Structure 1
């Protein structure tokens, strides 16, 4: 009977430790899922901002080109200045492409930063969960062994 009474507390302790470990791992996974959701939201925000900026650039380019064509039509066409107007239009297009490239580069840097931070947070959470599991198991074995 003495052997049975000593195993019951030990089994209860094992069960309790296992439940704590499972709860901690579940909590870590929940925080990882929250981090992933936040990362996805930030990436979606960057994509939306990038699309909006591209639309604004296109509208600005069209507006500048229309203004340049209107000016050319009013004055330059009479004087035969169509060559300079096309150079101005090409310059506007080049500036718009450069702005788009800079914006794309900035968005890529932001995406990389967000992904790196999320990966670091996930590794950190997993590492702390593993450390907690090992610590709980070591504590349990130490208590069991006396």
Structure 2
């Protein structure tokens, strides 16, 4: 559904990511994905009303997208699909130059995606930027060995 070229372009050009629904719990996928992206050089701004005001990944956790004081390139959504329309509306209102809305694995809302795409925002649905980064930039490992880019060829 998404070409490797598109995903590589997004992951190369993105610098600032607002991660909506990030957890403080280090065993939660949102935590380790956000941490991983931060370790790869992205500025990750955590967004979670339940932990707003605390520090995470060197940033203050924001209660919502509207409280972020800088522009972001990507909004990464770790919320249930039914929460997506409100997040997309807030993202479009707050960030007029937003480039990407990324819905994590298991997160999908076609109507919200269409609304964002109509505004010129690229939308990735039901994928994980950490997995795509590892796959496209040769960081996947098997048995401790770098395997390079995944291929179906033997």
TM-score by length of 2: 0.20
Structure number with larger C-alpha Rg: 1
Specify which structure has the higher proportion of strand. Answer: 2
Structure with greater helix share of residues: 1
Which of structures 1 and 2 has the larger relative contact order (alpha carbons within 8 angstroms, sep 6+)?
1
